[in-house]
């Protein structure tokens, strides 16, 4: 109990007053007579109102806020009434205490300096300020002990329930002229039946609102029904507001005083009103989540919240340092920007237990809507999790041709991600790698056969789904036949529709038919589908519109023609295929209008969110587009259990990490895939490469010391009884003479080739050809090991012995070493046209 007699809300009070499970809402609303001063002429506590009205000045109770263009909103609604036009003119003139039409347009970051004695309400006040429902008087003042006026109460509710609605008729209250700062809210509330006037034609906007009227107002506005709680204040049984007070108190939404009373006729303070309203909003949101009623939940989300759900920022760095813990800056991003999730990179990751802790703490900051946490864990060359299973990669799976192995790889990847607290994998890659000069896909693809890509892609999706992880397949409509990296520029795929149907679209069509739930777009232009050209922001030239920004591609083709019902996520907005030509604000609007649900890695997440808010406000992106996108996102989060955050402790999660990540069964699957993928590129007998013999002096020639050292360790460990003498040489170091001298002393030469992230035709093949020619001329035993994109035989002639391993990670090279020692037969099939 505070000294002034008001009940002080403490942590214990909040716990006792937690909402109980509500009963099913009845169809009937509260009787209109229970609404304060409703049209039924019910005037509760009117004398009390009148006694206070003279004490309340018009201006001192009006909240100072920044006003977005109400004039524009009214003009857009094409309202004809002259009083409304007067309101627009008055608002444009900059009235005192101006209110906003757009939920969230007031400073959500505004915090108040006068809450020292109202800490019990600070969380609720901050919550409503973040939502744009309440604001202060300027100078950091909220005045928590001040009374709430009728105008303010109506304004708060109208902002929550009808934030962007423009009144269609004049409320016709003598004391609410069109220039009144709360004119819109009062007009809307009157039209919606939330509030009415007095018989004398007045509204009495500056009269204070009682605690009883607050209960009636909230109960009617939210159609609240009694809950399971039995506690009831001792002084409300015969009060006119007994029913609404009971509805709120039985659901734990309002509290009383220490003596068991509610004191219904006492004026409600701004702090109390903030607590009551916040509890009701959170209660309604929780009820919507329990019911999986996403339309209802969205109705309680501000436009800024909805826009935030459509963003998945990159949080790799802060102030030049990697982000590996949930620091205050990251907490602020979660609280203030309401992001839909985050993508994690290797800079966010120290080890498996740190990732699990990081993910756990991020979710703890997320409020009632959980975060999607995702990563690019394709396997092979694209992986993020250290210490986890080191899968050989998609093209290695393509070389096995085994859908069961692809499913197993997807499942174990999903199990490890899920154990770490991640629910989203940006994989598998469904690009059909038809172009050897592709600088960015290559061995990330299953191969160049669309049927193979479709079959293994479906299996991988199934495995991830079985593990409880969303598969985000990429890059629609296809990135496999380009010679340009969309990270660096804007590629164009020039083929006609028949070719696209036969190759690029086939795996995506199969995935959609198989129920894939998320698809990532490509920053690539497809003129056969959309031939629009726009002026580049980079240099003023005309450029084609990439798939990410094309409504014809994402809505016309993907949704309407292919029937995709899931979530569409863009590729990264930091990539130059988008960034340099379109500018982020323009690209964000175009992408969402085209059909993108989630913008991945916006360069400026706060600005991107504001861009979407503004776009909805000005009509360039319809509200229904945002609503549909957010509904898909929420439903997918629910489908994968993100809302079920019941209480697994961090210690339990860490125990699971130690059991699952890099487990023995997973390592065995890793080994099997790598060994079954080993493919013979060339062999003198057509079956196997030249063999390493006991006592051989082996020279390993590689592009760098790390790779040469890795092969040396594995070769020495594979069969110590062979007594091999192993030397290494870095290709290019010491010049050709040095390499020739090393060859002179060698019985066997391993030439390691690694071509990736560049055009194969522009790779330094001349040095390799010279080495091959030298080895052939001297009659040396050797093996060319292809550790990257397996296109060596397109550029090298007369290779007598060689293997394709599809990656330079340790499982791949260990399998290759076994093949060189005759411990396994190369059984893989080259999954691309490369001879």
SS (H, E, C) 34-102: HCCCCCCCCCCCHHHHHHHHCCCCCCCCCCCCCCCCHHHHHHHHCCCCHHHHHHHHHHHCCCCCCCCCC
Local structure of residue 209 (DSSP, 8 states): -
Together in a domain, 316 and 217: no
Which entry of 314, 571, 614, 690 is annotated as an active-site residue?
Answer: 571
487 classed as catalytic: yes
Q: Is the pLDDT of residue 54 over 70?
A: no
In a domain, 6, yes or no: no
How open is the CA angle 476-479-480, to the nearest 5 degrees?
A: 130
Least confident stretch, 172-176, 484-488, 720-724:
484-488
Together in a domain, 584 and 641: yes
Please list, in sequence order, all residues whose beta carbon lies within 8 angstroms of the beta carbon of residue 119, skipping any fewer than 6 positions away. none
**H/E segment holding residue 743:** helix 735-744
Together in a domain, 198 and 98: yes
What domain range includes position 603? 310-337+348-657
**3-class secondary structure per residue, 437-462:** CCCCCHHHCCCCCHHHHHHHHHHHHH
Per-residue pLDDT, averaged over 803-820, amounts to: 97
3-state secondary structure of 507: helix
Q: Is the pLDDT of residue 732 over 90?
A: no
CB 753 within 8 A of CB 768: yes
Look at residues 207, 255, 247 and name the one whose alpha carbon lies nearest to residue 226: 247
What average pLDDT does the chain have? 86
In a domain, 558, yes or no: yes
Q: Is the pLDDT of residue 378 over 50?
A: yes
In a domain, 56, yes or no: yes
In a domain, 206, yes or no: yes
Residue at which a domain ends, from 625, 657, 689: 657
Q: Is the pLDDT of residue 645 over 70?
A: yes
pLDDT per residue as tens digits for the range 71-88 = 333 333 333 333 433 333
pLDDT per residue as tens digits for the range 252-290 = 998 889 999 999 999 999 999 999 999 999 999 999 999
Alpha helices in 150-267 (DSSP H): 150-161, 183-192, 211-221, 242-249
Calculate the alpha carbon distances from 536 to 493, 551, 579, 793 in Å: 18, 18, 10, 40
Look at residues 215, 224, 169 and name the one whose alpha carbon lies nearest to residue 192: 169
pLDDT per residue as tens digits for the range 130-187 = 888 888 888 899 999 999 999 999 999 888 888 778 888 888 899 999 999 999 999 9
Residue at which a domain ends, from 273, 299, 325: 299
Q: How confident is the model at residue 640 (pLDDT cuts 50, 70, 90)?
A: very high
Together in a domain, 758 and 630: no
CB 249 within 8 A of CB 211: no
In a domain, 3, yes or no: no
Calculate the alpha carbon distances from 328 to 64, 142, 175, 318 in Å: 28, 24, 47, 11
Local structure of residue 504 (DSSP, 8 states): T
Q: How confident is the model at residue 726 (pLDDT cuts 50, 70, 90)?
A: very high
CB 19 within 8 A of CB 279: yes
Together in a domain, 368 and 498: yes
Q: Is the pLDDT of residue 761 over 90?
A: no
* pLDDT of the residue at 385: 85
* pLDDT of the residue at 628: 98
* pLDDT of the residue at 24: 31
* pLDDT of the residue at 749: 97
Q: How far apart are CA 786 and CA 826, in angstroms?
A: 13
Q: Is the pLDDT of residue 294 over 90?
A: yes
Q: How confident is the model at residue 734 (pLDDT cuts 50, 70, 90)?
A: low
The alpha carbon of 602 is separated from its chain's Cα centroid by a whole number of angstroms, namely 11
Together in a domain, 455 and 567: yes
Q: Rounded to two decimals, what is the model's pTM?
A: 0.86
* pLDDT of the residue at 36: 37
The count of other CB atoms within 10 Å of the CB of residue 419 is 24
Calculate the alpha carbon distances from 551 to 480, 482, 585 in Å: 22, 22, 17
Considering only residues 385 and 105, tell me which one the structure prediction assigns the higher pLDDT. 385
664: left (phi over 0), alpha (psi -120 to 50) or beta: alpha
Together in a domain, 262 and 314: no
The crossing angle, in degrees rounded to 10, of helices 82-92 and 70-77 is 160
Together in a domain, 243 and 371: no
pLDDT per residue as tens digits for the range 217-239 = 899 899 999 999 888 899 999 99
Q: How far apart are CA 433 and CA 490, in angstroms?
A: 18
The domain spanning residue 387 has which CATH number? 3.20.20.300
Together in a domain, 280 and 419: no
| Tokens standing for residue 97 | 């205490």
Q: How confident is the model at residue 736 (pLDDT cuts 50, 70, 90)?
A: low
Residue at which a domain ends, from 299, 328, 362: 299
Per-residue pLDDT, averaged over 769-777, amounts to: 95
Look at residues 485, 467, 580 and name the one whose alpha carbon lies nearest to residue 524: 485
* pLDDT of the residue at 100: 27
Q: How confident is the model at residue 733 (pLDDT cuts 50, 70, 90)?
A: low
Look at residues 108, 103, 100, 107 and name the one whose alpha carbon lies nearest to residue 184: 100
Together in a domain, 801 and 748: yes
795, with CB counted inside 10 A (0-12, 13-18, 19+), is middle
In a domain, 66, yes or no: yes
CB 781 within 8 A of CB 691: yes
In a domain, 746, yes or no: yes
Per-residue pLDDT, averaged over 639-648, amounts to: 88
Which entry of 175, 487, 704, 767 is annotated as an active-site residue?
Answer: 487
Together in a domain, 575 and 436: yes
| Tokens standing for residue 31 | 């009787």
In a domain, 669, yes or no: no
What domain count does the chain have?
3
* pLDDT of the residue at 735: 55
Q: Is the pLDDT of residue 11 over 80?
A: no
Together in a domain, 23 and 94: yes
Least confident stretch, 362-371, 598-607, 628-637, 723-732:
723-732
Q: How far apart are CA 499 and CA 497, in angstroms?
A: 5
């Amino acid at each position: 109990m505070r000294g002034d007699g008001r009940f002080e809300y403490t942590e214990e009070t909040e716990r006792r007053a937690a909402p109980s499970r509500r009963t099913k809402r009845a169809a009937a609303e509260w009787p209109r007579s229970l609404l304060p001063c409703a049209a039924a002429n019910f005037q509760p506590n009117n004398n009390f109102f009148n006694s206070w009205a003279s004490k309340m000045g018009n201006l001192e109770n009006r909240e100072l806020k920044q006003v977005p263009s109400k004039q524009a909103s009214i003009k857009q609604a094409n309202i004809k009434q002259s009083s409304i036009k007067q309101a627009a003119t008055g608002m444009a003139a900059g009235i005192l205490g101006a209110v906003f039409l757009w939920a969230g347009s007031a400073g959500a970051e505004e915090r108040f300096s006068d809450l020292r004695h109202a800490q019990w309400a600070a969380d609720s006040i901050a919550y409503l300020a973040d939502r744009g429902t309440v604001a202060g008087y300027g100078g950091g003042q909220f005045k928590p002990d001040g009374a709430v006026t009728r105008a303010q109460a109506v304004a708060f509710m109208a902002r929550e329930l009808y934030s962007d609605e423009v009144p269609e008729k004049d409320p016709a209250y003598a004391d609410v002229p069109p220039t009144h700062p709360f004119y819109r809210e009062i007009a809307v509330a009157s039209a919606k039946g939330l509030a009415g006037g007095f018989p004398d034609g007045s509204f009495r906007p500056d009269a204070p609102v009682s605690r009883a009227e607050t209960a009636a107002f909230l109960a009617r506005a939210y159609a609240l029904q009694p809950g399971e709680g039995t506690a009831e204040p001792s002084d409300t049984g015969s009060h006119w507001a007994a029913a609404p007070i009971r509805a709120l108190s039985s659901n734990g939404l309002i509290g009383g005083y220490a003596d068991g009373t509610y004191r219904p006729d006492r004026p409600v303070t701004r702090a109390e009103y903030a607590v009551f309203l916040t509890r009701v909003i959170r209660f309604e949101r929780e009820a919507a989540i329990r019911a999986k009623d996403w339309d209802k939940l969205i109705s309680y989300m501000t436009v800024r919240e909805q826009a935030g759900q459509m963003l998945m920022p990159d949080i790799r760095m802060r102030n030049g340092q990697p982000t590996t813990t949930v620091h205050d800056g990251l907490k602020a991003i979660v609280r203030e920007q309401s992001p839909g999730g985050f993508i994690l990179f290797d800079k966010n990751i120290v080890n498996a237990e740190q990732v699990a802790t990081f993910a756990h703490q991020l979710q703890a900051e997320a409020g009632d809507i959980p975060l999607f946490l995702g990563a690019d864990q394709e396997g092979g060359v694209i992986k993020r999790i250290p210490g986890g299973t080191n899968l050989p990669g998609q093209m290695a799976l393509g070389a096995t041709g085994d859908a069961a192995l692809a499913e197993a790889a997807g499942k174990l990847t999903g199990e490890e991600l899920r154990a770490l607290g991640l629910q989203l994998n940006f994989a598998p890659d469904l690009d059909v790698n038809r172009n050897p000069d592709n600088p960015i896909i290559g061995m990330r693809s299953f191969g160049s056969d669309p049927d193979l890509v479709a079959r293994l892609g479906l299996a991988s999706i199934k495995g991830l789904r079985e593990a409880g992880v969303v598969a985000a397949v990429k890059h629609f409509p296809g990135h496999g036949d380009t010679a340009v990296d969309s990270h660096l520029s804007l590629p164009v795929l020039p083929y006609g529709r028949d070719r696209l149907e036969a190759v690029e679209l086939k795996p995506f069509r199969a995935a959609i038919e198989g129920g894939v739930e998320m698809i990532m777009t490509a920053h690539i232009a497809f003129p056969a589908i959309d031939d629009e050209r726009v002026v580049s922001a980079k240099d003023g030239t005309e450029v084609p519109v990439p798939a990410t920004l094309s409504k014809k591609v994402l809505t016309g083709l993907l949704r309407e023609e292919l029937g995709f019902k899931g979530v569409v996520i863009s590729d990264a907005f930091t990539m130059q295929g988008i960034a340099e030509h379109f500018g982020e604000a323009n690209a964000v609007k175009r992408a969402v209008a085209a059909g993108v649900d989630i913008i991945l890695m916006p360069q400026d997440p706060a600005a991107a969110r504001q861009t979407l808010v503004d776009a909805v406000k000005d009509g360039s992106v319809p509200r229904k587009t945002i609503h549909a996108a957010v509904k898909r996102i929420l439903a997918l989060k629910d489908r994968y259990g993100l809302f079920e955050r019941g209480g697994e402790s961090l210690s339990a999660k860490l125990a699971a990490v130690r059991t699952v990540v890099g487990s023995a069964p997973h390592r065995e699957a890793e080994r099997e895939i790598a060994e079954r993928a080993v493919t013979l590129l060339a062999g003198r007998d057509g079956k196997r490469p030249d063999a390493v013999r006991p006592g051989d002096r082996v020279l390993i020639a590689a592009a760098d010391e790390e790779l040469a050292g890795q092969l040396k360790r594995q070769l020495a460990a594979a069969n110590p009884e062979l007594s091999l003498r192993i030397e290494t040489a870095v290709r290019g170091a010491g010049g050709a003479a040095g390499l020739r001298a090393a060859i002179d002393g060698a019985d066997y030469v391993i030439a390691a080739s690694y071509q990736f992230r560049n055009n194969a035709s522009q790779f330094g093949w001349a040095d390799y050809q010279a080495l091959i020619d030298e080895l052939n001329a001297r009659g040396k035993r050797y093996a060319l090991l292809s550790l990257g994109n397996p296109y060596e035989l397109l550029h090298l002639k007369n290779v007598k012995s060689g293997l394709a391993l599809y990656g330079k990670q340790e499982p791949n090279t260990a399998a290759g070493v076994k093949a060189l020692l005759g411990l396994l037969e190369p059984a893989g099939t080259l999954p691309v046209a490369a001879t």
